[in-house]
């Protein structure tokens, strides 16, 4: 069963009249002291509570400490790619540069073992268990997430998939030791914190997790989602698969990892793992990830993106019709002023806000004409821009109380959209054929949208293919297991 695990915040629990609570929540150890009463409430209501290990800051720091080492290597790599005329494939970098990437990857593996002392694991688990959670995110090995964050790809280092096995085994050992009580009492389920860099390394890690008969798998995908690189080929079973064009890597890498972990685990035990994808919040990815699950097995994603997108300098609002996607607030404003319908959201949060702070479109249009109807930017939606006062639901006006209300409205709106997507996925997810038809219809609508980036559309299409093909493989494995049983 698919879940969007909302971050445990007051506005995600007390969602207002007519808005149901989420069935699953995530709370990091970093925020337990602040939200322990909310944790008690959702546990008392028999909702699923995931206790996150709070490693984000540690991982970010670890990656930052290696950045100066990898920058000169990437400069040399780009120069070699320029001579080749395309993105480098395995075996195409000079041996001297390959060796330098390989040496750095090996150093990172050694350093990752020193970053997390057992005392830290004990402290984290103690806080996790104090939440009385359904499951905890096990301690992670930082090697593979660091390699992703530093863009040390397999085609650069020349390292075979089996080299990555040791990092996965280290994370699995953390989960086994946690379950045995070596870091302190543990009554909860333990989801091993596994990372991967591509399909092959994910499948290998999933197989190891299945062989170890773990409670579940959690995979931190924030690094994959923040990846700024582009790719024009994939590696699967060590074979190069050429793509028709160069595409952004985040969606593709994310689905490669999720699919690989599921398939590897299923190869080992004949069924899907209980799974949590940490940091997957892009609306279009929810239906794609859901393809890897089934009606009987827990499959969750979470993300702070619906919060950050609502409050950062470039504001984004989520929609689910005709397909799930993000819309930048300044693009909505530009569309609104161009003789089109405005922001007519039917969610209770937007309705309440616009009733209290109605948009002044005529004044906004007058301002825009005075600006020569130029393209709007994110800066136009923040005070002291007059537009921020005239279209406050999309903006940060100068009055702090109105600005705060606008931010909270957008946060609640974004979660409302994700909840609707979750509901639709669940409705169709009772039957795999129905789910695949729903996702296909959703993706066809997404791919036909005007105005969205062709590169991201192409990336979503590749990610869809990975998810759909893997879903079919998983169904065959499960059917084979039932027949053999």
Q: pLDDT tens track of the chain, all 485 residues?
A: 999 999 999 999 999 877 899 999 999 999 999 999 999 999 999 999 999 999 999 999 999 999 999 999 999 999 999 999 989 999 999 999 999 999 999 999 999 999 999 999 999 999 999 999 999 999 999 999 999 999 999 999 999 999 999 999 999 999 999 999 999 999 999 999 999 999 999 999 999 999 999 999 999 999 999 998 999 999 998 899 999 899 999 999 999 999 999 999 999 999 999 999 999 999 999 999 999 999 999 999 999 999 999 999 999 999 999 999 999 999 999 999 987 777 889 999 999 999 999 999 999 999 999 999 999 999 999 999 999 999 999 999 999 999 999 999 999 999 999 999 999 999 999 999 999 999 999 999 999 987 678 899 999 999 999 999 999 999 998 766 655 55
Which domains does the chain carry? 2-303+453-484 (3.20.20), 317-414 (no CATH)
Rounded Cα distance, 325 and 318, in Å: 6
Rounded Cα distance, 168 and 157, in Å: 18
Distance, CA of 86 to chain centre: 28
Residue 169's DSSP bridge partners are none
Rounded Cα distance, 243 and 237, in Å: 16
- Measured between alpha carbons, how far apart are the two ends of the chain, in Å? 23
- State residue 299 phi and psi, 5-degree precision: -140, 120
Nearest to 327 by CA among 340, 374, 401, 230: 340
Q: What is the 3-state secondary structure (H, E, C) of 236-277?
A: ECCEEEEEEEEEECHHHHHHHHHHHHHHHHHHHHCCCCCEEE
Rounded Cα distance, 416 and 405, in Å: 16
pLDDT of residue 483: 54
Strands 275-278 and 239-248: unpaired
User: Structure pTM?
Assistant: 0.95
Rounded Cα distance, 26 and 8, in Å: 6
CA angle 463, 284, 204 (to 5 degrees): 40
pLDDT of residue 427: 95
Rounded Cα distance, 358 and 361, in Å: 9
CA angle 453, 458, 459 (to 5 degrees): 100
Rounded Cα distance, 144 and 420, in Å: 33
**Who's near 31: CB < 8 A, 6+ residues apart?**
8
Is the separation of the CB atoms in 311 and 286 below 8 Å?
no
Rounded Cα distance, 133 and 137, in Å: 10
Residue with tokens 């104090």: 130
Q: How many CB atoms lie within 10 A of CB 168?
A: 26
């Amino acid at each position: 069963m698919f879940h969007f695990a909302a971050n445990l915040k007051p506005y995600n629990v007390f969602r207002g009249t007519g808005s149901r609570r989420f069935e699953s929540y995530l709370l990091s150890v970093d925020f337990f002291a602040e939200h322990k009463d909310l944790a008690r409430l959702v546990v008392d209501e028999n909702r699923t509570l995931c206790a996150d290990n709070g490693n984000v800051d540690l991982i970010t720091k670890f990656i930052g400490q290696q950045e100066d080492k990898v920058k000169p290597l990437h400069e040399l790599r780009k120069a070699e790619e320029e001579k080749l005329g395309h993105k480098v494939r395995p075996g195409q970098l000079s041996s001297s540069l390959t060796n330098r990437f390989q040496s750095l990857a090996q150093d990172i593996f050694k350093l990752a073992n020193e970053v997390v002392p057992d005392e830290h694991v004990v402290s984290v688990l103690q806080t996790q268990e104090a939440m009385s959670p359904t499951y905890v995110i096990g301690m992670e090995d930082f090697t593979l997430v660091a390699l992703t964050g530093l863009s040390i790809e397999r085609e650069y280092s020349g390292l075979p998939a089996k080299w990555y096995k040791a990092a996965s085994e280290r994370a699995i050992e953390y989960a086994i030791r946690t379950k045995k009580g070596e870091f302190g009492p543990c009554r909860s389920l333990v989801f091993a914190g596994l990372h991967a860099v591509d399909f092959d390394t994910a499948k290998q890690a999933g197989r190891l997790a299945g062989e170890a008969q773990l409670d579940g798998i959690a995979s931190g995908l924030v690094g994959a989602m923040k990846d700024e690189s582009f790719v024009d080929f994939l590696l699967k079973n060590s074979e190069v698969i050429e793509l028709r064009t160069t595409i952004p890597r985040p969606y593709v890498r994310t689905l490669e990892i999720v699919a690989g972990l599921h398939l590897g685990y299923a190869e080992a035990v004949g069924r899907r793992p209980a799974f949590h994808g940490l940091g997957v919040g892009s609306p279009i990815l929810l239906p794609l990830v859901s393809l890897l699950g089934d009606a009987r097995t827990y499959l969750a994603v979470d993300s702070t993106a619906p919060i950050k997108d609502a409050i950062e300098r470039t504001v984004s609002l989520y929609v689910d019709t005709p397909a799930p996607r993000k819309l930048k607030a300044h693009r909505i404003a530009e569309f609104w002023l161009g003789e089109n319908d405005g922001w007519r959201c039917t969610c209770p949060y937007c309705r309440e806000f616009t009733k209290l702070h109605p948009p002044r479109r005529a004044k906004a249009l007058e301002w825009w004409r005075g600006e020569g109807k130029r393209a709007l930017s994110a800066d136009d939606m923040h005070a002291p821009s007059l537009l921020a006062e005239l279209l406050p639901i999309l903006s940060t006006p100068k009055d702090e109380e109105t600005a705060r209300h606008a931010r909270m409205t957008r946060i609640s709106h974004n979660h409302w959209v994700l909840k609707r997507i979750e509901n639709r996925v669940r409705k169709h997810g009772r039957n795999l054929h129905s789910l695949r038809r729903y996702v296909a219809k959703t993706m066809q609508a997404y791919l036909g949208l005007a105005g969205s980036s062709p590169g991201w559309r192409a990336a979503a299409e590749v990610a869809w293919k990975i998810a759909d093909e893997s879903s079919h493989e998983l169904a065959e494995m499960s059917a084979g297991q039932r027949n053999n049983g």
